[in-house]
Amino acid sequence: MTDLPPTGSPQIRFDVLTLFPGLFDGFLTESILGRAIRNQLVDVRLWDLRQWAVNKFGQVDDRPFGGGPGMLLMAPPVVDGVEAISNDDPAPAHVVLMSPGGRTFDQAKARELLQKRRLILICGRYEGFDQRAIDILKPELLSIGDFVVSGGEVPAMVVMDAVMRLVPGVLGDESSAVDESFHDDRGLVEYPHYTRPREYRGLGVPEILLSGDHARIAKWRESQRRIKESKEQS
């Protein structure tokens, strides 16, 4: 697909505070999101937390009081960083901190975040954050699920991806976000899809999809949508 001319007015701006900006390289340049950024439908800025290190050695972490394994991100670099990033643009920013203990991210939250227009995403590393960074900044804590990954970068990419594809024009076909899993409050997932070949390893395609009767196809598809299985059911 060819790139559209730049619109010049991004629908949403993301500022990401991270120790590893390089992790975002491919994510922000390839495919759908790369195109959205080039077309200025969305604006993404990466900020290296070390800019706000507490000393000339670039220190941003330290050992936890009370002992225990690992290191914590210190409060001053995180607080100073977020305050500086906030002031980089007069538009008020909604601050989100990636945390396994946060509320689980879902499609409804993606829709809600899109409305904020400006988001600061804070990525943790090591054992996480000095609690005072959280107490001072009062960010929204978001988790991508009940498991632990090594840093907040992949979780931040998950959030950005889900929000960005809701921006009008980001997906090639306007209707594709409307038709998708979880697009309304019923929590239904998509109906099954088929493409060529018409027969594969003895499996055919539901006849109705070959009928050309669009009204019946739409009805069939609606009937095939279902509630996602929850942990308890599976």
* Residue ranges that bind ligand SAH, judged by CB under 6 A: 98-101, 123-125, 127-128, 143-145, 147-149, 151-152, 155
Q: How far is the CB of 194 from ligand SAH (least distance, A)?
A: 34
Shortest Cβ contact with ligand SAH: which residue? 124
Q: Which of 154, 171 has the CB closer to ligand SAH?
A: 154
Q: How far is the CB of 149 from ligand SAH (least distance, A)?
A: 4
CA distances from 69 to 56, 75, 124, 144 (A): 25, 18, 16, 24
Is residue 81 within 8 Å of residue 53, measured between CB atoms?
no
Asked if the bond preceding 197 is cis, omega within 30° of 0, the reply is: yes
Q: How far is the CB of 68 from ligand SAH (least distance, A)?
A: 10
Rounded to a whole number of angstroms, the CA Rg of the chain reads: 21
Q: How far is the CB of 144 from ligand SAH (least distance, A)?
A: 4
The two beta strands, 94-104 and 118-122, are parallel
Q: Which of 36, 78 has the CB closer to ligand SAH?
A: 78
CB 234: neighbour CB atoms within 10 A? 6
Q: Which of 17, 170 has the CB closer to ligand SAH?
A: 17
Q: Which of 49, 166 has the CB closer to ligand SAH?
A: 49
36: three-class secondary structure by DSSP: helix
